Every structure is written in C-alpha cells, then in structure tokens.
Chain A
Amino acid sequence: MSSKLESWLTDIRTSTTIRLLKKNAKFWASFSIVASIIVLGIIGPYLTPYGPRTPTGTLMSPPSMRHPFGTDYFGYDVFAETVYGIRVSLSVGVIAALIATIIGVVLGMIAGLKGGLTDATIDTVINILLAIPPILIMILIAVYMGKRGIIEMGILVGSLSWHWTARAIRSQVASMKVSEYVSLSFLSGNSFIKVLFKDILPNIASYSLLAFVIQLSNAIMTIVTLEFLGFGATEWSLGAIVQLAVLWGGITLGIWWWFTFPGIIIIALITSLYILVVSLEEVFNPRLRRE
C-alpha cells in the first residue's frame, strides 16, 4: 500500500503536467491571491475586536490604526464587515459551485451517453437556461424566498447555473460514446450505470475539477451581484457592503474606504479564480501553451 502511494507521489512529482504547473507564473500568482483571501476570511475575524455590526462610536472615520479599513456612515468597522463578508460570500459560492458542478457533471454524462430523448430533453433545458439569463430567475425567486441564508442562497445559485458544466461534459462524453472502449464495455454486458462510473467518470474527473473552479468564479460573480441587489445572505456580505455604500451616498460623500476595500477584494477574488482556470487550461491543453 505504502509503496503504491509512494510510486503515485513520484508519478505526480515527475509528471509533465505538474512540472508545467510549477513553472506557470499565472498559476502561482492567482493561486496565492485566492489563498490569501481565503486565509483573510478565516483568520480576519480574530484580528479585529469588532464584529460586523458592533457600533464603534466613530462615524465615517478614514483608515487608521484602530480601523484599518475605516468606519462607515453608521459607525461600523469596514475591516470587520469585509472579513466577515468574505466568509459569507465565499461559503455561498462554494456551496453553489459544488451543487452546480455535481448536477452539471451528472446530467452532462447521462445526456452524452444515453442520447435520444433523454439527451434532447436535457439539451433543451440547457438551451433555455442559456437563452433566459438565470440571474433574472434567481432574482424573481429570491424576492419571494422566506429565508435567505447561506445554504438557501447557495442552493438557489447552484441549481440554476449547472448548464455551463452540463454542456461541456455532454459534448465530451458524446465523443467518448463512439470510442471503441465504451462500445466494448457495453458489448461485454456492462450496465449503463457501470459504464458511466467505470469508463466515463474517470476520464472526466480532472475536467470536473476544472469545472468546479470555473463554477466558483461564476458563482461568486453572480452572488455578489445578487447581494448588491439586496439578496445577501447577511447584511455584511461583500456585495451588500457595497450596496449600503451606494444607497447611503458613500460615493458622493467621498467615503471611499467604505466601498473600495470590499470592491477590490471582489475583483481580486473573481479575477484570480478566472486566471487560475486559464493557467490550468494552458497546462492541460498543449495547444494553448504558447512556448
């Protein structure tokens, strides 16, 4: 067992993919930014004495030693709001991305391998979600949702964004379906489920991981927009802080620290996740390497 693990680890260390990943500057830059934002979300709340809704008594104070990101119109500490906000927005994003990836991979595999009416139905649903911007349906549902917690928002976003993944997986699986090893597997009497899990799934596992990162980047984009429109899981999620700043004249009054810090973190997070995807694609797809 241990020798198997060792040989597996050597395989990883010596593989071309990992070697290329190690020298990819985009990968390291984006990975470290994403990692530092996650770390800030985890340890941030321990670095500040304030909670996101602790009245500090000082209103609209610019960044200082006591308040590294300043305080807002209501006297809340923007650093505290931001670090707690990272927790909320990231949690919703991870839940949404997980749900979307799982639904997308499963439906994409079934559509691609089964074909026929099942495929046509799933493909129509994918096309409907492509033609109607899902965020509009999310807004319509969110307005009437009784409770908009982290889990509820994650489910809402995840259950309406799987179509990207499903579409990509479907076309990959459809091309595998006509390959010899899948035909042979069917011929040797393997059931549909067995072929799906034994022959198809291992081949799309690495792509599914990539799909998760793509979904995470998109989910966070969708979530901060929903938060900005007033559907945040809490009052201090990243998009919600910015919404309050806009609604209460933070921009026109020149309280720049109120929206700049959460705004920059939003951009850094989504952009880095996107560049992470690009770097992974470059490594996996030799034609994009440009060496």
Chain B
Amino acid sequence: MGLARYILRRVILYVIVFFVALSIAWLIPRLLGNPIAIIIARLGPGQAGAAISASYFMQAFGLNKPLYLQYLLFIQGLLHGDLGISVWLLGKPVSSIVFKALIFDLILMAPAIIVSWFIGNYLGALAARYRSLDRILLPILYILATTPYFVLAMFLQWVLSVQYKIFPTVVYSTVFDQLLSNPSWDTFTAFLSTWFLPFLSLVLISMGGWASGMRSLMIYELESNYSRFMEMLGLSKRKISAYAFRYAINPQITGLGIQLGTMVAGAIAVEYIFNYPGLGYFLFNAIINNDPFLLQGAILVVILMVIVANFIVDMLYAILDPRIRVGVVG
C-alpha cells in the first residue's frame, strides 16, 4: 500500500520534471537568442543573400509557425528521435551523434559510480571507526571531495601521461569507431587507455564525496544512544559498526541520484580534457563551435539520463527502505 502510493507520487514528480526539462531546453534558445543568426553568421559575413537564407532557415526549421505548434512539433520530433542537425559537424543528425555519445557515457559513468560508491562508503566507514587512519585519510578525502573534476583531470593528465608517459598523451576520439568496426586486442587496449584516465578522475572525486559523507554519518550513528547501549551490553566494536553502517548507508543511497547529476556536469570538462567522445565532449564542442542544435540535443539527453537515473535510485530506495515498504513514511 505504502509502496504503491510512494511510487505513484514519484512517478508524477518525474513526469513533471521531464516536461519542465523539455520546456526549458525548448524555450531558452527561443527566448534568449536566435539560432538562425548563428548559422547565418557561420555561413559568411554580410552577403546579400543573408535575408533570403534567413527566411529559408526560418521555414526549414519551422520557426515561422506559431509558438504552440513549434512546441508540439518539437515534442513530436523528439518522440521520433529527431533532434535537428549539427551545424559544427556539417549537417550530421544530432540524434545519431548524441546516441553514440550516450553509450560511451554509460560505459564511462556506470562503472565509475558503482566503484566510487563502494570504495567511498567503505573508506568512510573505516575512517569513522579507526582514529589513526582518520587522521591521514580525512584531509585527503576532503580535498578529493571538493576538487572540481576538471582540475583533477588536468593534473592527472599532466602527471600520468605527460610526465610519466604511462598513458598516451594524444588520444583520438576515433578509437571507439575503430573498436566497433574492427574489434581486436589492439583496438581494445587503445580504447582502455583512453577510457582509464577519465574513469579515474570521476572515481577519485566522487569517492571523496561518498567517503566524507559516510564518515560523518557513521560518527553520528556511533555516538548515538543505541550504539552506547550496545557498548554497555558488551558487544564488539565490529558488531556495533556493522549496525551503524546499516543505518548510515540509507542517505547514501538517496544521494546516488544527486551525485550522478554533479558527476555528469563534471564529466563535461573531463571528457573534453581527455578527448573522450561522450556527451560532455560534444556539449563542450557545441559551446566553442556555436552549434545551437547539438548543444540543445546534448543537454536534453544528459538531463533525461539524470532523470532516469534518479528515478531508478528512488525505486531502489523504496525497495530497500523498510519504512517506505510498510508505509510509515513517504
């Protein structure tokens, strides 16, 4: 009962979030700027045909239609997987670029989230339990948790691939196409060497966040009355920590969705630094190359990815938290 109501409320929220996201992605370019002007500007300066090509593009992109129709057409196009064409990549459909990038993003981020979550929570719990370890670990965790992704990525690239040459300095984003068209050991290792450093940057930073969060949650639980009571009963430290851990892990599950949002945003810069062809890479290039449709498409897909992940986390939480399952809260 409680579970069904909880799920229904969450579904309604995410439907709202979904439409807000769509509308923002549709509205802001129309409200604040003129994509056509950008395209015309790219075609060349002030030729006589500018007005004609402007009206051509207005028609071609349907910008001369009434606004509500434009919105409906936008949603219709979206449902058919049509996100417009990329100006930067000379007319390639945005949806095909973005779809491929999404897969590379999942290959990068799903392992990064899982690995950082487990290691981070484990380290945080250890730091809370052992004072001596805490003294060394805590400053490192704080620094990792608050360093912007791109700063760490930059230092990693400089140290590991420029100074020590463990990883190739110049990597081409085509390693993925090569891997897909010609799967072999060589193309696979080429892929791994491109994949590893962005992966490491994402893991280290978000691990710091998980660990420092877990540490304070654990300390809070270990200082609580029920832990004191168990201590009085003579239970082992190990046992008490295990109970505290089970309680402290809950907020860390809810945090997963939010953490994913910051990771996705951080990954934009990381992917650019390492030439990793995920959504962030195309987003960054869309920004520097003035490509309105690619930008809109990439942002939209990133937002959708985060919303879906948030939804999955919420459902996971509903199943894992007994209070929601039996309908005490929610």
How many chain B residues touch A (Cβ–Cβ < 8 Å)?
58
Check: A12 CB closer than 8 A to any chain B CB.
no
Centre residue among A128, A137, A256 by max chain B CB count within 10 A: A128
Check: A145 CB closer than 8 A to any chain B CB.
yes
Please name the residue on chain B nearest to A282 by beta carbon.
B216
Check: A43 CB closer than 8 A to any chain B CB.
no
- Provide the bound-state CA to CA distance between A37 and B157, in Å: 26
Do A274 and B142 have beta carbons less than 8 Å apart?
Answer: yes
Chain B residues lying within 8 Å of A263, measured Cβ to Cβ, are 151, 154-155
Check: A55 CB closer than 8 A to any chain B CB.
no
- Provide the bound-state CA to CA distance between A173 and B287, in Å: 42
Chain B residues lying within 8 Å of A133, measured Cβ to Cβ, are 261-262, 264-265, 302-303, 306
Do A267 and B17 have beta carbons less than 8 Å apart?
Answer: no
Chain A residues lying within 8 Å of B31, measured Cβ to Cβ, are 144
Do B216 and A288 have beta carbons less than 8 Å apart?
Answer: yes
Contacts A132-B307, A137-B24; A229 near B269 (Cβ below 8 A): yes
Check: B29 CB closer than 8 A to any chain A CB.
yes
Check: B33 CB closer than 8 A to any chain A CB.
yes
Chain A residues lying within 8 Å of B272, measured Cβ to Cβ, are 246
Contacts A128-B20, A135-B265, A263-B154; A140 near B148 (Cβ below 8 A): no
Check: B76 CB closer than 8 A to any chain A CB.
no
Chain B residues lying within 8 Å of A271, measured Cβ to Cβ, are 142-143, 146-147
- Provide the bound-state CA to CA distance between A260 and B143, in Å: 16
Check: B86 CB closer than 8 A to any chain A CB.
no
Within 8 A of A (CB), among B107-146: 142-143, 145-146
Listed stretches A70-78, A79-87, A94-102, A217-225; interface member: A217-225
Chain A residues lying within 8 Å of B149, measured Cβ to Cβ, are 225
Do A251 and B154 have beta carbons less than 8 Å apart?
Answer: yes
Do B150 and A140 have beta carbons less than 8 Å apart?
Answer: no
Distance of A228 from chain B, by nearest CB (Å): 5
Within 8 A of B (CB), among A106-157: 124, 127-128, 130-133, 135-137, 139-141, 143-145
Check: A60 CB closer than 8 A to any chain B CB.
no
Do A230 and B13 have beta carbons less than 8 Å apart?
Answer: no
Do B269 and A225 have beta carbons less than 8 Å apart?
Answer: yes
Digit string of B308-330 for contact with A (CB within 8 Å is 1, else 0)? 00100000000000000000000
Chain A residues lying within 8 Å of B219, measured Cβ to Cβ, are 288, 290
- Provide the bound-state CA to CA distance between A278 and B146, in Å: 12
- Provide the bound-state CA to CA distance between A139 and B283, in Å: 10
Do B287 and A229 have beta carbons less than 8 Å apart?
Answer: yes
Check: A4 CB closer than 8 A to any chain B CB.
no
Do A124 and B306 have beta carbons less than 8 Å apart?
Answer: no
Contacts A135-B265, A229-B287, A288-B216; A140 near B146 (Cβ below 8 A): no
Check: B256 CB closer than 8 A to any chain A CB.
no
Within 8 A of A (CB), among B9-35: 13-14, 16-17, 20-21, 24-25, 28-29, 31-33
Query: For the side of the interface on A, what is the size category?
Result: 35 or more
Distance of B4 from chain A, by nearest CB (Å): 20
- Provide the bound-state CA to CA distance between A225 and B153, in Å: 12
- Provide the bound-state CA to CA distance between A241 and B1, in Å: 56
Check: B169 CB closer than 8 A to any chain A CB.
yes
- Provide the bound-state CA to CA distance between A254 and B268, in Å: 23
Please name the residue on chain A nearest to B163 by beta carbon.
A254
Chain A residues lying within 8 Å of B224, measured Cβ to Cβ, are 287
- Provide the bound-state CA to CA distance between A139 and B266, in Å: 12
Do B148 and A221 have beta carbons less than 8 Å apart?
Answer: yes
Chain A residues lying within 8 Å of B79, measured Cβ to Cβ, are none
- Provide the bound-state CA to CA distance between A275 and B208, in Å: 13
Check: A259 CB closer than 8 A to any chain B CB.
yes
Do B154 and A252 have beta carbons less than 8 Å apart?
Answer: no
Check: A92 CB closer than 8 A to any chain B CB.
no
Do B32 and A145 have beta carbons less than 8 Å apart?
Answer: yes
Digit string of A43-55 for contact with B (CB within 8 Å is 1, else 0)? 0000000000000
Digit string of B209-220 for contact with A (CB within 8 Å is 1, else 0)? 000000010011
Q: Give 4 closest A-B pairs by Cβ, nearest first.
A: A144-B32, A133-B261, A144-B33, A135-B265
- CB pairs A–B below 8 angstroms (15 shown): A124-B13, A128-B16, A131-B261, A133-B302, A137-B28, A217-B146, A224-B148, A225-B266, A225-B269, A242-B151, A246-B273, A259-B154, A259-B158, A263-B154, A271-B146
Q: Which residues of B contact A (CB under 8 A)?
A: 13-14, 16-17, 20-21, 24-25, 28-29, 31-33, 142-143, 145-151, 154-155, 157-158, 162, 169-170, 216, 219-220, 223-224, 257-258, 261-262, 264-266, 268-269, 272-273, 283-284, 287-288, 292, 295-296, 299, 302-303, 306-307, 310
Apart from A143-B292, A256-B158, A271-B146, what are 14 other A-B pairs with CB-CB below 8 Å? A133-B264, A136-B299, A139-B283, A139-B287, A139-B299, A144-B29, A224-B148, A228-B150, A246-B154, A251-B158, A267-B148, A267-B151, A278-B142, A288-B216
